[in-house]
Amino acid sequence: MKAIAIRRYGGPEVVEYTELPDPKVGPDSVLVQVKAAGVNPVDWKIREGGMDGLMDVHFPLIMGWDLAGVVLAVGGAVTEFAPGDEVIGYVRKDAVEHGTYAELVSAPVRTLARKPASLGWAQAGGLPLAGLTARQCLVGALDLQRGESLLVHGAAGGVGCLAVQLAVAIGARVIGTASERNHAFLRELGAEPVAHGEGLVDRLRELAPEGVDAALDLVGGAEPLEVSAQLVADPARMVSIADYGVVARGGRYVFVRPDAEGLAELAALADRGGLRVPVASTFPLAQAASAQALNAEGRTRGKIVLLVD
């Protein structure tokens, strides 16, 4: 099969479009023909060695944790899916080696859900990791409730635009930071946009004089945590996916986990019309290095997705 792999850590120059053996299908897994694979910051961070201290890593390493595709075969213990089923998955395994930037992926059923019929392949491929991240932050860590207010730092990005929509679906008021070119986009999603940068606290106080109930940092760095600490009464209701320093301030750091039930709920929300996946750019599989470079710039509105032919 064709796949995007690396044989050592490094920059875009280590990325190879290469031929590798088809994956084996274990008893609790299914073989998926990949149609689309989402590109996420963790992908190029793995390429640079950023996960080496946390997980076992084996080379050659196929990158990617997101997929949307069609089941070709099922393992002996699998009853949840059958050949021909369309699925989405956040396919993070116990070791980093057999990722989703490939024509074929062996995916444990615990990482999969049925693809929402309302989404095309590109949108479906961009949903799993970002969607689950948003859901586990809002529904899990923050326990966001109807009628509450939420501040989202980096609201126009891949996770941010999904977090805004999930919070709106819950019935919360959403204030989102973004560059001014993305303000109309955030209004379309149901958020009140605010420009980040100097004077942010004052601009937020104009919208929410009493502060906000919860804050979600998707950016990292000093500004989001300092601003959130000034606006949230209970520091336990500050969450970050980008800066572990939130823990020292009394908040929570979230690293997304595979969750088949959560994926199924995201898919159902999409099919009810409550969630769309804005796709900023698509690239063919062979151009994964370019897709990662664009993702690393950090200025993308929505998701970047690889299409696998």
Q: What is the domain-level CATH number for residue 223?
A: 3.40.50.720
Q: Quote the distance between the C-alpha of residue 133 and its chain's center.
A: 6
Same domain, 226 and 282: no
User: Is 101 a member of any domain?
Assistant: yes
User: What pLDDT band is residue 299 in, cutting at 50, 70 and 90?
Assistant: confident
Arithmetic mean of pLDDT over the chain: 97
pLDDT at 182: 97
Specify the DSSP class assigned to residue 78.
-
Same domain, 34 and 76: yes
* Short-list 254, 193, 200, CA closest to 222: 200
Residue 229 in contact with residue 237, Cβ under 8 Å? no
Q: Give tens-digit pLDDT for 217-267.
A: 999 999 999 999 999 999 999 999 999 999 999 999 999 999 999 999 999
Helix (H, G, I), strand (E, B) or coil at 212: strand
User: Is 266 a member of any domain?
Assistant: no
Q: Give tens-digit pLDDT for 19-59.
A: 999 999 999 999 999 999 999 999 999 999 999 999 999 99
Same domain, 247 and 291: no
User: Is 18 a member of any domain?
Assistant: yes
Same domain, 137 and 169: yes
Same domain, 96 and 148: no
User: Is 203 a member of any domain?
Assistant: yes
Same domain, 137 and 78: no
In this structure, the number of other CB atoms found within 10 A of the CB of residue 60 comes to: 13
User: Is 261 a member of any domain?
Assistant: no
Share of the chain above pLDDT 90, in %: 98
Region 155-180: mean pLDDT is 98
- The yes-or-no verdict on residue 128 having pLDDT over 90 is yes
Counting the structural domains of the chain, the total is: 2
Q: How far is 11 from 8, CA to CA, in rounded Å?
A: 10
pLDDT at 162: 98
Region 118-147: mean pLDDT is 98
User: Is 264 a member of any domain?
Assistant: no
Q: What is the domain-level CATH number for residue 25?
A: 3.90.180.10
Residue 39 in contact with residue 63, Cβ under 8 Å? no
Same domain, 151 and 118: no
Same domain, 76 and 145: no
User: Is 166 a member of any domain?
Assistant: yes
Region 79-88: mean pLDDT is 98
User: Is 62 a member of any domain?
Assistant: yes
Q: Is the peptide bond before 60 cis (omega within 30 degrees of 0)?
A: yes
Domain holding 60, by residue range, is 2-127+277-307
Largest CA-CA distance found in the chain, in angstroms, rounded: 59
Angle between helices 260-271 and 128-135 (to 10 degrees): 100
pLDDT at 4: 98
pLDDT at 260: 98
Same domain, 138 and 197: yes
Strand bridging mode 56-62 / 95-98: parallel
- The yes-or-no verdict on residue 309 having pLDDT over 90 is no
Residue 158 to residues 6, 105, 223, 302: CA-CA distances in angstroms? 24, 23, 20, 4
Same domain, 44 and 154: no
Same domain, 34 and 89: yes
pLDDT at 25: 98
Residue 232 in contact with residue 206, Cβ under 8 Å? no
Provide the residue type at 252 as one letter. Answer: R
Residue 250 φ/ψ, nearest 5 degrees: 95, 0
Task: Please give the model's pTM, rounded to 2 decimal places.
Answer: 0.98
Same domain, 97 and 138: no
pLDDT at 140: 97
Q: Give tens-digit pLDDT for 192-206.
A: 999 999 999 999 999
